[in-house]
Amino acid sequence: METLLSKTNHNKVTLGGDKQYFYTVNPFEVTNALGTAVATLQEYSISSLSGETYKIYKTKEGNWYDIAEVNSSRYNLLLISLKSAIDIQEKGTQPIF
């Protein structure tokens, strides 16, 4: 059980030099079977220019949290790349390649 809270931020991240992804960040409340809130995460709703959409989640401590039924496992490499790019962007540092 999850609840979407209000307060949206809009951002853009680029992978591989030309692959652009746009994402919004919303507070997201995870609840147990009784409807009690057990955690508040940041939900990253990501979309590509080709229309593909993904959702990834981050804790307030900065750790990524996976909800298995949200994304197909065939996108794991892309999601890892997106998580890394978002972390770099949010920290304001440049990657060393």
Which residue in 32, 42, 35 sits closest to 9, CA to CA?
Answer: 42
The whole-angstrom distance between residue 58's C-alpha and the CA centroid of its chain comes to: 7
Indicate left, alpha or beta for 34 from its phi (over 0: left) and psi (-120 to 50: alpha). alpha
Q: How far apart are CA 69 and CA 61, in angstroms?
A: 23
Q: How far apart are CA 16 and CA 81, in angstroms?
A: 10
Q: Name the one residue in this structure whose structure tokens are 């990657």.
A: 95
> pTM, whole model, 2 decimals?
0.78
Q: Name the one residue in this structure whose structure tokens are 């809009």.
A: 10
- Domain definitions of the chain by residue range: 2-91
Give 15-73 pLDDT, tens digit per residue.
Answer: 987 899 999 999 999 888 898 888 899 999 999 988 999 999 999 999 998 887 777 77
